[in-house]
Structure 1
Amino acid sequence: MKEEILILLEKHENWVTEGKSIFNTSDSSLASTITVLSTPSEDENSDIQSDKQADASLLEATYPDVWLFLNNIEKPPTVDEIIKERPIITNSNAIDWHFQKLTGKDITNLTVKMIEKSDRLCNHLNKKHKIVGKGTTTIECLSNALCQYFKEDITTSWKKVENFNDTESAKSAPTTPLIASPIILEIGNGNGDFAVVMEQRSICKSHSAARAFEIMTAYYFILNLEYPKDVSCFMEFIQRYFLKIQPEYGSKSKNSKTKQRVITLMKNLPK
């Protein structure tokens, strides 16, 4: 396996992310610059498929090491440690890959399905419960409406700030002794800038509300996090209704009533 990875590295020396390695392994000889494929130019279009296959090969090769690092029961890594030692986990393409590896689902389909079903959901919530979702995007409006229905706090997952810097993110993002829940910070007044923040650190930025929402959701699974109490039903609904991840037993929420409340809404929705 080591030789195969080194061969792939020789073929893809241009795989860089801000000049930093985004893979780390326990083998120091492989811990040097292993990176994710950058956006290809027009001249490279013919190589896209082979590049994607090689990208997946590298992710597959490093997956066991990354999984063991993230699931250290004795000393769970902090976000700072993840960024420093396994920065691959902050790369957008790698996030998609890891989520699909864990769940068998494509996280990039999540917001497509949310937008497709938003009218039906919002109309039902308005007609039956007089709920009106508010926001500047379809994703935000739907999220707001669902949180109203479950009597939960959308600002636990989605917060608006005027400017983004270390001080502002520290004020806006929740923190816990271990890894805090991911939260979307919408920066400015409708400028389309978003950051996903954990433990008062920005771990991923996007110009798309939909993409930020996908990344936030994926992190709950990649980092094996419980849903916060204030949005447990909302996130469980996203998981079960849109992603179709419906474990027969267990939940990512500590609240024993969460699953039943979510299933009740799902059953009452028009077909």
Structure 2
Amino acid sequence: MRSLSQTTDWNEEEVKVLMKSTYYSQRKDINKGTDMKTLTEEWPFLFQESGMEVHFKDLTGIPLKETFLNSIDRKGSRLLNFMKNVCATKNKRVLQTVTKLQVLRGQTNGCSEDVKDMILLLLSYFDEKEELLLHYVEETSLAKDVELENLPVTPCIIVCGPSCYAAVRFMLSVDRQIANDDITTFITAVCLMFGSYYCFNIHYPSELASVLEFLQRCFFVINPEKGTKVAEKKNKKRVPVNPRVFTLISDLSDHEWRETL
């Protein structure tokens, strides 16, 4: 696989078979705490869409991108409608973001644009730190140009452009290492970012806990009855479901029920 990754004509199905057959060895390296730089060298396809898809499904039983896209089709427009027409009337930061997105988005349409809106509105709604999720660099930046010390330790999407809407491409950073420097769509970037938390045993940072758990439960359909991926804080009681996430899910369901009356 290391040799294949150096070529430009590798076969995706062959990579999937190789990834599946070496899953045990991948988990062994990850679970013993192998550093991210070594993992990117030893298992380069683990950070590519096709390779992570295989690993994530073997690990969780869930097809990563397929589940996300299906959820976007069923829930995406309803969430955006609720955010723009209900939350914006009650939350000043959400209203400011809605106004800003109308300018940034312009006349562009499509699923990927909706996902960008959704992520930025969720960050506003939960008042969480965008800079831990999205790191902006110059449009022409290469991996070697990114100042690694300015990146968060947790998985991060590097946006090559002035905004998500004007980006020419995206990169994935994990543990301040550029794990993938050529991601062509924002949807793929989101899936790789989210998948990294599970594949590499990483806790959600408390500053992004609500956004990530909302994505986890509503769009990646991972709903454990107990336990949480949020980094534990001393003297703070753990709860099975983030109450802020539960409130948004409940308010959204209530709004949809009212709409059908």
Look up the match of 1:84: 41
* Distance in 1 (alpha carbons) for counterparts of 2:76 and 2:221: 16
TM-score normalised by L of structure 2? 0.76
Percent identity of equivalent pairs:
21
Classify the secondary structure of the residue corresponding to 2:136: strand
Q: Describe the shift of the 1:19–1:122 C-alpha distance in structure 2 as closer, same or farther (beyond 3 A).
A: closer
Q: Describe the shift of the 1:114–1:172 C-alpha distance in structure 2 as closer, same or farther (beyond 3 A).
A: farther
Letter in 2 for 1:168: V
State yes or no: 1:264 paired with 2:247.
Answer: yes
* Distance in 1 (alpha carbons) for counterparts of 2:246 and 2:136: 30
- Which protein, 1 or 2, shows the higher relative CO under an 8 Å CA cutoff with sep ≥ 6? 2
Look up the match of 2:179: 203
Look up the match of 1:33: none
Query: Any gaps of 5 or more consecutive residues in structure 2?
Result: 89-93, 106-112, 233-237, 257-261
Classify the secondary structure of the residue corresponding to 2:146: helix
Candidates 58, 61, 72, aligned match of 1:114: 72
Cα deviation for residue 116 of structure 1 reads 4.8
TM-superposition CA deviations, 1:64-122 (whole Å, max 9, x none): 111011011xxx12211112222232232110111111111111121453365333112
Cα deviation for residue 129 of structure 1 reads 2.4
Higher helix share: 2
Counterparts of 1:1-271 in structure 2, within 5 Å, are 16-19=4-7, 37-38=10-11, 52=13, 55-72=15-32, 76-109=33-66, 110-114=68-72, 116-130=74-88, 131=94, 132-133=97-98, 134=101, 136=105, 137-162=113-138, 163-165=140-142, 166-174=144-152, 180-189=153-162, 190-204=166-180, 205-254=182-231, 256=238, 259-270=242-253, 271=256
* Distance in 2 (alpha carbons) for counterparts of 1:37 and 1:100: 21
Kept in 2: contact 1:17–1:38 (CA 8 A): no
Kept in 2: contact 1:194–1:208 (CA 8 A): yes
Cα deviation for residue 191 of structure 1 reads 3.9
How many residue pairs get aligned? The number is 222
Q: Describe the shift of the 1:19–1:127 C-alpha distance in structure 2 as closer, same or farther (beyond 3 A).
A: closer
Cα deviation for residue 164 of structure 1 reads 2.2
TM-score normalised by L of structure 1? 0.73
Letter in 2 for 1:221: Y
Query: Any gaps of 5 or more consecutive residues in structure 1?
Result: 1-8, 10-14, 21-35, 40-51, 175-179
